[in-house]
Structure 1
Amino acid sequence: MTAAYILFNDITLLDFVGVYDPLSRLQSQGHLPDFSWDTCALTPTINDSFGLEIGVDHVCPNLSKYDLIVVPGDFGTRMLKDNPAFTAWLQTATDVPLKASVCTGALLLGAAGFLKGHRATTHFNEYKTLEPFCAEVVREDLVDDGAVITAGAVASSLTLGLYLCEKFAGKEKTEAVRRSMAY
């Protein structure tokens, strides 16, 4: 299984790391040794919402080769949802079996058309913004609607990370990951 973390300027770093950390432990602890991931963006580096610069593995790759994409959120999503170049790139993930988001990353999944007919959640201040993109906005921390899993505000990133661990590796291995995080 291979995941793509979709990064962009003005992300909340915890939205990314909260999912990345538990999932990466599946590989590093030998629970899913073939699990791998890439960081992907439209530019070679991005800056989080506080200015921290992060280099990425791949610039604008075709996302169709991945099994999972994870889209974090923050203020950068408000502009990107209306950015045709970003949306077109994200749409290369149309055939990716599982798409996940944290916080306002759901707005980007929605702008790419991935939430049509799905239930979804986002940051509690953006429920109204999400409404046009999905069948139903659910006011919960995590919504699994089959091919799309969305998580609410920033702290739900850890919830999503552990939820995906359980989905991919089962309860026992997820419990080992959780314990190793002291969470």
Structure 2
Amino acid sequence: MATPTPPPPKNFAGPLEILTHALHTTSHTPVFTCTIAAASPTVLSSQNCSVNRDIALAEAYAQLAHYDVLVIPGGGVTDPGGVLEVQGEPLGLVKKFAELGNEQRKGGGGGRERTLFSVCTGSLVLGEAGVLDGKSATTHCEYYDELEEVCARWGRTEVLKERFVVNSRSGGDGGGNGLRIITAGGVSCGMDASLWLIREVAGLESAQRVAEIVQYAWRQGVVV
């Protein structure tokens, strides 16, 4: 996970809680091992919660090919470009991760799925990185217009008022860059999308078990 600053803690902690509870139903081994990447050793949320990183961004770049999922949690913004005030990270990390899927497709490599996953206004970062061009996406319900504005710089993106939107890899190159792109609305929508991802990777039983453990009513989004 890479964090724009400062993210509300639930946009980060909600999906993290869901993903780290997921177990394979036969081996009971973890489905995901989560690593927190950030520019500074400690990230302070908008509610003054501190999160310690596991690795620096330089290390994240060096190891990026070994990761299957990149999660970008959103941050509180007061204007359309607020989450993008610094034209740096995690924009570069998002672009590099998307390029990995594209390079794999061009090289004829297959089988390994990569997922780029934003929560809340994290979708603005994906839009600014240009990876939502020609795709469908969503964001926090108060930022639909802002997402359309950001994405229009690159081309056309259909902004849907859904809890989460999945651009599936199935069929051809999976929507352009050889990777699955998931955009979710705020907080609980990111938890819904996380459960969907668990279902895809480890099966429905595993996802239902996580929802039961955290006592959460799982709601669905759309797959396009």
TM over 0.5: yes
| Structure number with bigger Rg | 2
Q: Flag the 1:180–1:34 CA change in 2: closer, same or farther, 3 A.
A: closer
- Higher share in helix: 1
Aligned 8 A contact 1:39 1:58 in 2: yes
After TM superposition, the structure 1 = structure 2 runs for residues 83-98 of structure 1, keeping only pairs within 5 Å, are 83-86=86-89, 87-94=91-98, 95=100, 97-98=114-115
Q: Is the 8 A contact 1:14 1:157 kept in 2?
A: no
CA-to-partner distance for each residue in 1:139-167, whole Å, 9 max, x for gaps?
Answer: 11111112111111222122112111111
Describe the superposition over 1:88-115 as per-residue Cα deviations: whole angstroms up to 9, x where unpaired. 2332212252101111000011111221
| AA of the residue aligned to 2:160 | V
In structure 1, the residue matched to 2:219 is none
Unaligned runs of 5+ in 1: none
Give yes or no for the alignment of 1:166 onto 2:170. no
| Superposed displacement of residue 180, structure 1 | 1.2
Of the three residues 3, 6, 14, the one matched with 1:7 is 3
Distance across 2 between alignment mates of 1:68 and 1:124: 24
TM-score, length-scaled by structure 1 = 0.88
Amino acid at match of 1:139: K
| Alpha-carbon distance change, 145 to 32 in structure 1, aligned in 2, over 3 angstroms | farther
Q: How many residues align?
A: 179
On the 8 A contact 1:11/1:75 being kept in 2, the answer is yes
Q: Which has the higher mean CA deviation after the structures are superposed, 139-148 or 76-85?
A: 76-85
Q: TM-score under structure 2 normalisation?
A: 0.73
Q: 2:167 maps to which residue?
A: 145
Corresponding position: 1:135 with 2:166: no
The aligned amino acid for 1:90 is V
Match of 1:69 in 2: 70
- Specify the code of the residue in structure 2 equivalent to 1:128: D
Residue in 2 aligned with 1:102?
A: 119
Larger fraction in strand: 1
Q: Distance in 1 between matches of 2:97 and 2:186?
A: 23
RMSD over aligned Cα atoms: 2.1
Q: Is the 8 A contact 1:123 1:153 kept in 2?
A: yes
Q: Is the 8 A contact 1:8 1:46 kept in 2?
A: no
Q: Which runs of 5+ in 2 are unaligned?
A: 102-113, 169-179, 217-224
Report if aligned partners of 1:106, 1:130 keep a CA contact under 8 Å in 2: yes
Question: CA separation in 1, counterparts of 2:31 and 2:167?
Answer: 26
